[in-house]
Structure 1
Amino acid sequence: MPACVAHGAGDLRVEELPAPLPGPGQALVAVRYGGVCGSDLHYWRHGGVGDFRLREPMVLGHEVVGTVVSYGRGATGPAPGTAVAVHPATPCGRCPECADGRANVCRDTRYLGSASRFPHVQGGFAGQVVVPAGQVRPLPEGLGLRRAALAEPLAVALHSVRRAGDVAGRHVLVTGAGPIGCLVVAAARAAGAGRVTVTDLLPEALGYAAVAGADTLVRADGPADAGWPAEVDVAVEASGAAAGLDTCLRLVRRGGVVVQLGMLPPGRSPFPGNLVVSREIELRGAFRFDSEFEEALALLAARGEFDGLISAVVPVREAEGAFALAADRGRACKVLLEFGGG
């Protein structure tokens, strides 16, 4: 079966790997679509994401959907042939974080296509993938596989908005209009935000934010009178740039909440810490998601505008071109790889 494998910085290969067999408690899924995520791009370009570095070849991908093929001994779930999305996380279920209901920050989790542990957890950009049976979710009625490929990043966005607290009727700022930032816009809208302002350097990216439901679009390098709000109630930093965090902290009101969602570059990142103190700003991290996955599937089934965020569907054999397109934010928002499954 074809698989998209990162060997190091700038070294992405489509290789033929043996098709897997499901073991006890596992499900075998034929992958149809896989969404190219920012972390996949970092592994391809830089050989790592944040502090997680490639130490061996790794199949990329954690945003995958397809159809159930079969189950291993003792495993049950949706019938073979059922269209499903794959929850990419396998928390340990034993650590203090899991016991506290925060499995998304489990200290011993396994996550598809992640180099956070060694040996790495191989990802889902392959013709077939084996996962614990409990990680497959049947699609709600009316939701096709193509749009369902957004479930994982939308769950990330929903979790970040949940970390912000009640946003109903509030003015929310989102810095960064990449795929995740645009999905944060949609998540904030679904949570009842009164107004959503989005900043980015690229007008094309801001166009996608408008599709997602943003009210105000601001060029991040624009002048002070270019639509910048005087202040906001909540800010979500989705660019992964220190400048974005700086913007969030300077524009959020006193006593407001800033959620850091984007992964900052490794090492130390400067930020205006004195503002956190003098304005009693609450700075919160948001990492992955947990129960929001089911919520994401339901939201995708209910709203068709998400289709406008999918820029291209590219055959896996052309993976390098797909990655290059996904990395060009002037040309694309979310790019999907297409496999033969389903």
Structure 2
Amino acid sequence: MKVVRFYAPGDLRYEDADDPTPGPDEVKIKVWATSTCGTDVKIFGAGHQNLDPPRVIGHEIAGEVVEVGTAVDGWQPGDRVQVIAAVPCGECEECTHGKMSVCPNQVSMGYQFDGGFAEYMIVPRAVLKVDGLNRIPEGLSYAEASVAEPFACAINAQSLARVGEGDDVVVVGSGPIGCLHVRLARANGARRVTLVELNRRRLDQAAGLVKPDETICAGEVDVVEAVMDLTNGRGVDVTITATAAGVAQEQAVQYAARQGRISFFGGLPKDRPTITLDSNLVHYRELTIVGANGSSPANNKDALERIGSGAVPVLDLITHRLPLVDVPRAIEIVRSGEGIKVTIEPQS
């Protein structure tokens, strides 16, 4: 079979590999769709501390069961499945108290296990143990199902930030995650959703698809002033910073309404991880700042259900579909912001 392996920063190789054979407690799938994301861009450019090369990367995975280990129940060839990316241990104190998204023993597909940039792959016991292999709803394509993983992360973040009925919401960043946040906030009952983006071209592209109520181009206006003008000086109930920009986090505190909630969704660069904010605004306005970066197996199931029901559509966010050999091109499209969601289809 063919795979794409990461060997070192800048070194991705499309090459032959032996077809994998599942162990007694594993499942083998034919990969039909693996979507790319900003993390793949980071891995390609700088590697990752939790990834030991050579490794088949790709972690937003959907496929078809083709072989089932002798000790595995509940699955059979032909089942259409989506695979979680972040794999909690299921045994630590966090996991047993319902906090699987922050399991300290977490491992990941495409990091410790070979991922989805391959024609076939093994779903390891660790995934099956935490109920991380999910059935794709009837009528949902493999490409759409592969978007469930990043959408699950958005669901986790909005749950922590308590996005709900009547909220005035700002989403900063118009990449794939930002687009998902806009649609999810609306599905969660927000009365107004504003999309903020530095780059005018990217903002217009995303807004044309997800139709936020308002847009603000951070490259053209002062974001704090624009948000306060839009809200008649009140500020917003929830801000989600779906971008790796410290200034977005600092600004979110400035335009938060009283008892507003802020989700620091996008992580900052490791060489610039600190920000400066007005602590008195947090104090006197009774603001809540929460972090969010991953998801739980339950979030993945929720994501598939919402996509499958049509509550949060994702098909139109998939702007590019490429064969396995074009993984490097897919990563460049994501890096440049040329597209929204880029999906690799290894069987094409």
TM-score w.r.t. length of structure 1? 0.91
Q: Return the letter of the residue paired with 1:282.
A: T
Aligned counterpart in structure 2 of residue 314 of structure 1, from 303, 311, 322: 322
RMSD: 2.0
Equivalent residue for 2:78? 81
Q: Which residue of structure 2 lines up, in the alignment, with residue 117 of structure 1?
A: none
Equivalent residues, number: 332
How far 1:135 moved relative to its partner?
A: 2.5
**How big is the shift at 1:305?**
4.2
User: Is 1:327 paired with 2:325?
Assistant: no
Unaligned runs of 5+ in 2: 229-234
Aligned to 1:18: 18
1:249 maps to 2:246: no
**Aligned partners of 1:34 and 1:124 also within 8 Å:** yes
- What are the residue-to-residue correspondences of 1:1-342 with 2, within 5 Å? 1-48=1-48, 52=49, 54-114=51-111, 120-131=112-123, 132=125, 133=128, 134-206=131-203, 207-224=205-222, 228-230=226-228, 231-267=235-271, 268-274=273-279, 275-290=281-296, 291-303=298-310, 305-329=313-337, 331-340=338-347
Cα separation, 1, equivalents of 2:305 and 2:95: 24
Q: Deviations over 1:268-320 (max 9, x none)?
A: 32231523334332110112111111111112122284221111001011211
Q: CA deviation at 1:152?
A: 0.5
Normalized against structure 2, the TM-score is what? 0.89
Give % identity: 32
Q: Alpha carbons of 1:54 and 1:112: their partners in 2 closer, same or farther (altered >3 Å)?
A: closer
Structure-2 separation of matches of 1:96 and 1:70? 34
Which one-letter code corresponds to 2:343 in the other structure?
Answer: L
Instruction: Please list every run of 5 or more consecutive structure 1 residues that lacks an aligned counterpart in the other structure.
Output: 115-119
Per the alignment, in what secondary structure is the counterpart of residue 333 of structure 2? helix
User: Which amino acid counterpart does residue 269 of structure 1 have in structure 2?
Assistant: T
Q: Distance in 2 between matches of 1:19 and 1:245?
A: 46
* 1:226 CA displacement: 10
SS in 1 for 2:302: helix
CA distance in 2, matches of 1:203, 1:189: 23
Alpha-carbon distance between aligned partners in 2 of 1:276 and 1:57, rounded to the nearest angstrom: 45
- Equivalent residue of 1:228, what SS? helix
1:97-116 deviation digits (Å, cap 9, x = unpaired): 001101111111221123xx
Residue 14 of structure 2 aligns to a residue in which SS? strand
- Residue 156 of structure 1 deviates from its aligned partner by 0.9
* Aligned counterparts of 2:189 and 2:39: Cα–Cα separation in 1: 29
Q: How far apart are residue 240 of structure 1 and its match?
A: 1.6
